[in-house]
Structure 1
Amino acid sequence: MPREEKTPATRVLRQETLLVLALSVGASALSAVISFTGSVTAPGDLQDRAATLNGSQAPGRPWLDLAWQLFGIATALVPVALVAHLLLREGAGGLRALGLDRRRPGSDLGRGALVAAAIGGSGLLFYLAVWATGANLTVVPESLPDVWWKFPVLIASAVQNSLLEEVVVVGYLLRRLGQLGWTPAAALLASSALRGTYHLYQGIGGFVGNLVMGVVFVFLYRRWGRIGPLVAAHALIDIVAFGGYALLAGEVDWLPTPP
């Protein structure tokens, strides 16, 4: 006989959801709003400022820098572990309830690659267009030193981003909002707006582009019933962005770099 899932009381669900968000992307959203406010109220143009995604934490001290990089990646994944724990306690089977498991690795990776190709390419063109208007900061995907661990850390950072965002913002949040009685349209809007907001530190383009990405990802999650392909897609997008910038920055004239 299958194990019965037990839905916690509404009040507990609401408090739990707010706490998970406050420990993860919710705090990032507030930080992004403050950062963007500082950027738009400072003298000069937005594109003259840089938004660095993966920067050195201890310049000139590579081993200490590596320790800080790994510490940041590991601690950023704690909310994912918390979500898995809460879903297990609920009787839902942990992250498997969201479609993050090893049942369909080939399908998840294949679908993720197709989504990454479509969103990654269009996202780059959108960023370049918005940056040219002066409505976006210059995004610097990485500014790590040229040491042996640079690319492994960038890959690990990309995987961490994908796990955190897709588990919390899509799988977990949509599940909890549905249990709280939100309509599918309202839940889609909340998830997408949250994704856009915690990217606002990059500028208007970062907000709009990620809001649209959020809509697409929610649609695909509801269609496939799995976040596995979304985690794969997000990881591939970030790996290409981080690694591509590391290889091309300063080598091509179409890629914006800090002044």
Structure 2
Amino acid sequence: MKRVTDALAVSRSNTYERSRSPRPRPERYSKAEDAFLLPLIVELLGGRQTYGYRRIQRLLNRQLIAGGRTPVNHKRVYRIMRQNNLLLARFTGSRSDKAHTGKVSTLQRNQRWCSDGFEIVCDNGERVRVIFALDTCDREVMAYSATTGGYSADMAQSVMLACVEKRFGDVKTLQSVEWLSDNGSCYTARETITFAAALGIVSKFTPARSPQSNGMAEALVKTFKRDYVFCNDRSDAETVMAQLPGWFEDYNENAPHKALRMLSPREFIRSLQNLECPV
């Protein structure tokens, strides 16, 4: 065949493919399967109103795989949601032109932890203030502290200690860990920096008026408020604080993350543990 294709100046691979018996055409997608998937998608959206088709596809495939079914492509989920007017509205706002050129994420766990705080305004006017910390590799929220008062150094220190105990099971880190935060007084207080150093934590602060330098923590604040705070009852501070543990647990265990290949933080951690050498 090579001599023939060389003489005719045609592609050998194409000629070989045409010489083979014709393959059966793949079956087109089944609308009956779409009818089966639609109720599942609607059920997922009932509790995840802020999720787009990518994250819904991830949650849907979890259910399908658990039931012994074949996972579906994101294009099918998009088509079903588009046909039934279930897609989110496109973002039409403007983004800040103050880009951050540094890199917050790390390739390994327990190298850098970032922290930030946010405020939840309740319907009755009460305010809940939360400080949290997450790992810049696996995105897990390791600890948080909430109060109806103001941010304090004690809150930041309690979160630091909880992170060390969760990741290292002791009162000191096994290696130096960076703690990235803004210049809030609870972080820059001398007692907080001294306390962090005693735990093996190196305090790092973002430049003034540069929230993009701690973009991972800032992004979590936006995601947390959109997916949990604004979609649930926040009639008073007591109600909000009672829901916080469940919200953070759901984020860690179930929320798909694009940077983690659409895995939740805990799923990503388990996948890393499965890859570790047993020796």
User: Considering the TM-score relative to the shorter chain, is it more than 0.5?
Assistant: no
Task: Determine which structure has greater relative contact order: mean sequence separation of CA pairs < 8 Å that are 6+ residues apart, divided by chain length.
Answer: 1
User: Structure 2-normalised TM-score?
Assistant: 0.27
Q: Which of the pair is proportionally richer in strand?
A: 2
Larger Rg: 2
User: Structure 1-normalised TM-score?
Assistant: 0.29
